[in-house]
Structure 1
Amino acid sequence: MREPPGPREQLRARARATPDRRAAVFLDDRGAETAELTYGGLLGRARILAARLGEHVRPGDRALLVFAPGLEFLVAFYGCLEACVIAVPVPPPRRGGDLQRGTRHVLADAEPAVVLADTATARGLVDLGPTVLTVGLEEAFIGSADSLDDGPADPAAVAFLQYTSGSTSLPKGVMVTHRNLAANQQMITHGFGQDEHSPIVGWAPLFHDQGLIGNVLQPLGVGSTAVLMSPATFVRRPLAWPEAVSRYRARSSGGPDFAFATAAAAAERHGLPEGLDLRCWRVAFDGAEPVRASTLRRFAAAFAPAGFAAEALHPCYGLAEATLLVTGSRPGRAPRLLDVDPAGLAAGRVVPTAPARGLDSDTDRSTWPGLEDRGADGLGRNGTGTVRTLVGSGEVPPGAGLRIVDPESGRECPEGMVGEIRVHGPHVTAGYWRRPDATADAYGTGRELRTGDLGALVEGELYVVGRRSDLIVARGRNHHPSDIEATVAAAHPALGQAGPATVAAFGLADEEGGAERVVVVAELRPDREGPDHTVITTAVRAAVLREHDVALAGVVLTRRGVLPRTSSGKIQRRAAREIHLGGGFPAPPR
């Protein structure tokens, strides 16, 4: 069977067919275009850079990519593909020029032969060790690329190393091959229904898989346009995101769950921008962290006046070890919501209390009579007690495989039973860079990826319920930290109801090594640091006891921004636990 083309061959084909078509544009904080690349211009610059790389490295060497947000990253990444050099994207330095701790670990682990950086960033990288080459958009055509190999890339060769976020351990370099990229791009194209008329708007960092694969390689692979902006733009002005979708008539755009909650909160606070038209937005993919029904409802309601349709919401599930996408909702079908019994879930079973429904029918009270309005934690009450709403993460795309397996026995679980999510197919990556033991543990002998995530299949839909390594066992029951964190975030306005990303829940073994004691650390909103802390902690304890039957051993309130996070913003629960056991977290102002 003929191998599908990877990103290198796709760019070459697009540059030949439509050299003057815009491949990518970059927007500033105001939404103005500050840079653009055509398909022909991008390929030309990438090949000149590849020729420069040939003077310093050999095929198979690594190149560290350290870039501030901008289109220079695209030239560097495709230049590495053209030179058969393994790209290693990392976050740019913090303010002041300090590299992040994870980047220094990557530098030692990947042993790059060269560093590629934009001009401004390169000034602070002279002491790294490897040769630093600057990449700009204006001078990239200086030189000749005649010495380059014009043949196709080896499908089995590693295209780049995607270092994991390090939320549970030190980052590991996932070896993503050209074949992995080609296979996963086909799955995304099928699942999203994309073509050359499907611009994508993205603000996720390009050193992460969602930003690189979802927002760059995917639109360029189908011959469309990538409309990019800095993550800082979204943080400062969340409505810049839907504004760009409206302006460029983007079919697809998305991000983590917190982004949808943040944008909805901004719309509720400031109102919708004048002239906003989101009827074009057909795939609003929500992934990279737990997807909450309350977020989906809130976003759909906030942007419905601009023509946004609830059926455009597209919950999905993926991870770097499977390149990116594992499952996704069907385009044009509203997300699946399933009310389940929390006690059954704690025992490892998905026990529905009502049939699965779509978000667009969520206001139909006849499907769950007597149920009161749910809070931001997704919990509500009906005549039989508390229920939890799970959000479906979609179905397995063609060419991929997924099983739910008992992690202890290895036996496949029947429908509705919770087990470890395991994935197989051509998108499952080649393992971890120079980590044979970790590769064997995660990928096994049959190349079936053990994700470490827990979930269940119900009528072909995947419902993700937590992460195995983060499970808290209290009073003989399993508790997923994300559930407790969501409950805490909704317990008091001072904790911020936009999402549980400001709360960490973890377990501490008791003195006799038995049941775990549960502790939560919660950041206070900057504008809400005046309320009585006793009132807040009492509300938190009451909410967790009511919804999870867990008496918290500790509630720690702290300042905003001090919980340890990965470079993608995920809370590092283990690191939070160590800080709690060590010096503790700083108290918030009173």
Structure 2
Amino acid sequence: MGAMTNSSPQAPHAGTDRALPYTHRCTGRWACRPPNPAAMTCAPIFALRRLFTAPKAWPHGWHPVPPGGLIPHRSPTAKGQPVPHQLQHRTLTDAVRDGVHRHPERTAFVYLHEDGPDMRPEEIGYAELDRRARVVATRLREAAKGDPTRPVLLLYPPTLDFVTAFIGCFYAGRTAIPAPLPDEPGERLARVSSILRDAEVGAVLTLPEYRQAIGAWLTATGIPDVVCLSTGAQDDAGVDAGLWVPPAVRDTDVAFLQYSSGSTSEPKGVMVTHANLAANEEAIRTAMRTPDGVVTGSWLPLYHDMGLIGMTLQPLWVGGTSVQMSPVSFIKQPHRWLRMIHDYRVEGTASPDFGYDLCVRRVTEEQSAGLDLSTLRVALNGAEPVRAGTLRAFVQRFAGHGLRPEVVLPSYGLAENTLLVSSGDTEAPHLELTVDAHALERDELRPARSDRAGRILVGCGRPTDTEALIVDPVSLEVLPDGRVGEIWLRGPSVAAGYWNRPELTAQTFRAETADGRSGYFRTGDLGALLDGELYVTGRIKEMLIQHGRNLYPQDIEQAIQDSGEAFRRGGGAVFTVTGRADGRSHVVVVQELRARAAAEDDLPQLAAAVQALLSRRFQLAGVSVVLVQQGVIRKTTSGKTQRTLMRQLFLDGALPVLHQRLQRPVADLLPATDVTPEPAAASPRP
């Protein structure tokens, strides 16, 4: 197979045994059109079949609608209740072995490496994946020191070697820990060091070129009996895969530790059991209607839950093919993701919201020429707040390339629920609500009185295998439809807890409502249910409480970034600090500027414009504004803004500031400042 180019291959999937990844069989239920005659696919037109009467419970016929105004039929499950399903496999090992039995030569994974302007594919089939996993498992067993059940830390760049090592841990019955390979000394190395100690790691797997450096690092940590093994063709040569002994695995055994991204706190090891993984993979398969042999494509990090569980393990679960590229390849050239979908006729993909926005802003007409996205059945948007504007812009930009509106699905998930909690309907457009912004500040969903006072909320679909409740985080009372509270979850996908943190596990994973319902996981996320649809509004720890009003930082950040071209999209962090003298909460905005978007003389005017905007739009007086260069705002591996970390960096005086306008109580908190603080502004009446 040649390098990835702008041509549109008409041949069957390279390395697979299927001529077409998916063909819709028209049964007369839908009026269909053929967006791609060469592929003989067709897609439903919802205007003819999907209308129903608006719910009468809402004033003046107000109800959530898709962007086009059509009302989709929704499956008749109880509000917040899970959709039932049956398990296809008991463990990931069972899934891979089943794939080997049914189609050993089918391509399991394709990894696209940068090769100049093109992408060079590296492939591995099911039989070879199984053989290499058995070799890794055998080597782990033979090299074990001390307790052979201690977790295994995986430190790899984004390659197929990570996949074989991860599955090899399952074959060995060892708990795997996917983690980012530190590219240089600093914060990321400190994070991995904390994982090493917290998890009491017994072995580290990596590539040969990193083994010496990692070995020296392990020696420096002083943790005893940690084995460092490198995997690959040379290291695995001479190891007989036939020596592999299938481990005795219980459903309750911890399959892997998913260390949380740490958007509001220190990373914690989420214990995902084999039963959790099986339940969530089945939930994804059911919700996405994933066909056997599906082809997925992704640029997401392999150590992140959406990239690992959704885009890497889900295709394995159904005997499919996963096509991958590195996040760096995507960020440098976003059109490569879309070209991957075109070239490999990908049916399922996923990305945080910023990935879709990046394609809209940076993919040129020349780069998208000849692009065919009609094979896409599912394009999940999740891992960070889903913006209605991004969904609309992405669909509009690529509708001429076969992209159907119902393909782009908002979703909600988190590591503590293995991955997926809820998602949109694959056979209907997503839902949107335009709510009154002032009522939302009082934790109520009410119809907007005008466009200026409205905020658009995107529905994240119905819960999959998980029961969802909306609970008052203080009184623990279960809230009715249309009220905003903390999202609580209960179901087979909810993880076993946090590694080595029994007290936090009891508080977070064993929560009980005021009326005595128990066994719920407290997400720390805020949201509401409406007719079974879940709407996520923010994070409890990041909420800005000003004069009795609950403001969401992402709303303020988006308003700033929409107000001028100089402000970089996705490059803002809003948080509060408490004045030392007055004891009051003060709002601070840290906002990146686009490269070469503003002259130095323009910076005071830009900061003043932000203050004026927030006073006018959100009735926030006396906001402190910090302007920084592109790349300063810290993000998690999934693209979430780390507002808690940004707050600490600000208080430490560790931000490289271009210009700032600080209120006196805020400036007094910093170690030192060479700016003249503004006088405290008069606060608006609540």
Same fold (TM over 0.5): yes
The equivalent residue for 1:477 is: 549
Query: Partner of 1:13: helix, strand, or coil?
Result: helix
Return closer, same or farther for 1:453/1:486 CA change in 2, 3 Å cut-off: same
Contact 1:48 1:141 in 2 (8 A): no
**Alignment partners' CA distance in 2, 1:524 and 1:429:** 40
**Cα deviation per residue 1:289-327 (whole Å; 9 max; x = unaligned)?**
000011111111111121111211100000000000000
Following superposition, the deviation at residue 64 of structure 1 comes to 0.8
Does structure 1 retain, via aligned residues, the 8 Å contact 2:438–2:453? no
Residue identity opposite 2:303 in structure 1: F
The question of 1:574 aligning with 2:640 is answered: no
Structure 1, 152-161 or 173-182: larger mean CA deviation: 152-161
> Does residue 424 in structure 1 map to residue 490 in structure 2?
yes
Kindly report structure 1 stretches of 4+ aligned residues shifted beyond 6 Å: none
- Post-superposition Cα deviations, 1:255-310, rounded to whole Å, max 9, x if no partner, equal 1001110011112x454423200011121100000000111111111111211112
Counterpart of 1:333? Answer: 428
Structure 1 SS opposite 2:215: coil
From 398, 409, 417, the counterpart of 1:314: 409
1:41-93 deviations in whole A, cap 9, x for unaligned?
A: 00110001100000122552111100011000011001100111111111111
Report the secondary structure of 2:323's partner residue.
strand
Query: Residues 152 and 40 from structure 1, CA distance in 2 versus in 1: closer, same or farther, beyond 3 angstroms?
Result: farther
**Aligned-partner residue type, residue 137 of structure 2:** A
1:561 to partner: Cα distance: 1.4
- Paired position in structure 2 for 1:400: 466
% same residue? 38
Distance 1:122 1:527 in 2: 41
Deviations 1:499-520 (A, max 9, x none): 3x31010012245666521110
> Is 1:516 the counterpart of 2:585 in the alignment?
yes
Shift in Å, 1:151: 5.8
**Correspondent of 1:350 among 431, 445, 463:** 445
Using the TM superposition, give the Cα deviation of residue 447 of structure 1 relative to its aligned residue in structure 2, in angstroms.
3.0
**1:412 partner amino acid:** V
Shift of 1:481: 1.1
**Distance in 2 of aligned mates of 1:104 and 1:96:** 11
Please say if 1:289 is aligned against 2:376: no
1-side partners of 2:354 and 2:523: how far apart? 22
Is the 1:59–1:84 Cα contact (8 Å) retained in structure 2?
no
Q: Deviations over 1:537-589 (max 9, x none)?
A: 12222322232222242010011112233343322212211222222522239
The 1:270–1:124 alpha-carbon spacing in structure 2 relative to 1, beyond 3 Å, is: farther
Could you tell me how far apart the structure 2 residues matched to 1:22 and 1:533 are? 54
Q: Which amino acid aligns with 1:391?
A: V
Letter in 2 for 1:408: V
Residues 69 and 545 of structure 1: is their aligned pair in 2 closer, same or farther, counting only changes over 3 Å?
same
- Contact 1:525–1:560 (CA<8 Å) still a contact in 2? yes
> Does structure 1 residue 94 correspond to structure 2 residue 166?
no
* 1:467 matched residue in structure 2: 539
1:48-127 to structure 2, matched below 5 A, reads: 48-57=135-144, 59-95=148-184, 99-127=188-216
Amino acid at match of 1:421: I
Q: How many residues align?
A: 557
1:540 to 598, 603, 610: 610
- For residue 499 of structure 2, what is the amino acid of its counterpart? W
- CA separation in 2, counterparts of 1:40 and 1:546? 63
SS of the residue 1:213 aligns to: helix
Change over 3 Å in CA distance of 1:177–1:59 after alignment to 2: farther
- Structure 1 position 2, deviation (Å): 7.8
Per-residue CA deviations over 1:441-490 (Å, capped at 9, x if unaligned) read: 21125431100000001111111000011111112101111111111222
In structure 1, the residue matched to 2:23 is none
Q: Give the aligned residue type for 2:108.
A: A
Question: The residue matched to 1:447 in structure 2 has which SS?
Answer: strand
Residue identity matched to 1:54: R
CA shift, 1:142, in A, is 3.1
Counterparts of 2:547 and 2:427, CA distance in 1: 43
Distance in 1 (alpha carbons) for counterparts of 2:135 and 2:426: 39
2:631 matched residue in structure 1: 561
- 1:95 CA displacement: 4.3
Cα distance, 1:139 vs structure 2? 5.3
Root-mean-square deviation (Å): 2.1
Mapped pair 1:23 → 2:108? yes
In the alignment, is the contact (CA less than 8 A) between 1:48 and 1:142 conserved in 2? no
SS of structure 2 residue aligned to 1:412: coil
Distance (Å, rounded) in 1 between the aligned partners of 2:659 and 2:110: 43
Distance 1:278 1:48 in 2: 38
- Of 127, 133, 137, the match for 1:40: 127
Q: Does structure 1 conserve the Cα–Cα contact (< 8 Å) formed by 2:573 and 2:589?
A: yes
Where does structure 1 lack aligned partners over 5 or more consecutive residues?
A: 355-380
**1:259 to 2:355 alignment:** yes
Q: What 5-or-longer segments of structure 2 have no aligned partner?
A: 1-85, 220-225, 512-517, 661-686
- CA 505–205 in structure 1, closer or farther in 2 if over 3 Å, else same: same
